[in-house]
Amino acid sequence: MGAFDDSKPTLAMLGLQFSYAIVSLITRAALIQGMSPRVFVVYRQAIATVVIVPVSYFSRRKSVGTSLGLRSFCLVFSASLIGVTISQNVFAEGLYLASSSMASAMGNLVPAITFVMAVALGLEKIKIGSIRSFAKIVGTVICVSGAISMALLRGPKLLNKTIFMSGGEDWWLGCLFIFVSTCCWSIWLILQVPLTASSPDHLSLSAWMCFLATLQSGILTLFLEKDLDAWKLHSYLELVGCLFTGIIGSGLSFFVQAWVICQRGPLFSAMFNPLCTVIVTVLAAIFLHEEIYTGGLIGGVAVIIGLYIVLWGKAKDFIKEEDEIDQRQAVKITIQDSREGERVLEEPFLSDKSNDNIEEDDNFHQ
């Protein structure tokens, strides 16, 4: 059971990357059919709220003291605004203007951005000469480079200058939107550290996040989307896309992400993002019959290698943290035992009450 418990965060992140790949493909298909990106985000968060709020309510009925304080609410509001409302809206716009492959590739900048933010905030420590720190840096570079090469080194088609120019302003604007979304998601990962520390109920946090994101996205869409027909669903694909992205892509993923970050930290969670590019490439080849080029294959191998290097570095940190916790607990137990021993030695073998009883017995016999 110990080895299985240690592998739970890894298995959870692998499952999330599969779900994110499906979310990306379904979202792209729905937007191509003409659905408004902003309306799509509202429906996604509303469905996630409807699903996760009842689950959170019934799971908290027996718990006490899980309500949010002012600091926790401000953190949840900020995380919802930056990591959900802004991030998903600009990502949907970028996904529509650019392409799913470019969106998947640029999403792999999350580990690098998160790594820089975590180091700047002191959440990740870099020690010169440390093998663990060197592994995390090298693994991050390999992982991100391999993921980007999957989108840019797929053959003469994507390397042709006319292809880059043919996208026009919309293509570059889409890339800019996706980059902004990547930065927002990295900030969301960082915010999970103080958020889970102030309120460890991950399910309740996910419910609040989905609810606040629904309100924020709804208000934003009402100001930006003037056409009321944009709120209508015109196909089953749009309905299925909203349901899947809402239940799995938002409701379940927020809970799992918060739990994994609480267990292993934000960098551990971010380092799995490049796997989404690999999964999208494979699924596109199977279901959309897209060809896999040599550059994509090499990039996929680099992603796997870089990921294992970083996981090795993080595993060493995790083992070190467990050893430190065990040592602190051992010291605490030793101190408690020594104090109890001193207290026992200070007490007389026979209390005053016992001496009085002995004297009474002697007088009785006399």
Distances (CA, A) of 180 to 30, 94, 151, 190, 243: 22, 9, 19, 16, 25
Q: Are residues 251 and 296 in the same domain?
A: yes
How many structural domains are present in the chain? Answer: 2
Q: Are residues 184 and 294 in the same domain?
A: yes
Structural domain includes residue 273? yes
Q: How far is CA 154 from the centre of its chain?
A: 29
165 pLDDT tier (thresholds 50, 70, 90): very low
Global pTM value: 0.70
Structural domain includes residue 332? no
Q: Are residues 53 and 135 in the same domain?
A: yes
Structural domain includes residue 292? yes
Q: Are residues 305 and 343 in the same domain?
A: no
pLDDT at 204 over 80: yes
- For 58-86, how does the pLDDT look when each residue is reduced to its tens digit (9 = 90+)? 776 555 455 667 888 899 999 999 998 99
pLDDT at 39 over 70: yes
Of the candidates 310, 327, 352, which is a domain's last residue?
A: 310
Structural domain includes residue 210? yes
Q: Are residues 240 and 354 in the same domain?
A: no
Q: Are residues 225 and 357 in the same domain?
A: no
The average pLDDT across 203-228 equals 88
Q: Are residues 75 and 163 in the same domain?
A: yes
| CA atoms in the 13 A half-sphere facing the CB of 348 | 6
pLDDT of residue 47: 92
Q: Are residues 352 and 259 in the same domain?
A: no
Structural domain includes residue 328? no
Q: Are residues 82 and 46 in the same domain?
A: yes
Which domain, by its residues, includes 342?
Answer: 338-365
What is the DSSP secondary-structure string of 241-272? HHHHIIIIIIIIHHHHHHHHHHHH-HHHHHTT
Structural domain includes residue 113? yes
- For 134-162, how does the pLDDT look when each residue is reduced to its tens digit (9 = 90+)? 888 888 788 778 777 766 665 555 444 43
| Single-letter residue type at 64 | V
- For 248-307, how does the pLDDT look when each residue is reduced to its tens digit (9 = 90+)? 887 788 778 878 877 877 667 777 877 887 787 777 677 756 566 676 667 777 877 887
Element housing 12 (H / E): helix 2-32
Q: Are residues 267 and 342 in the same domain?
A: no
220 pLDDT tier (thresholds 50, 70, 90): very high
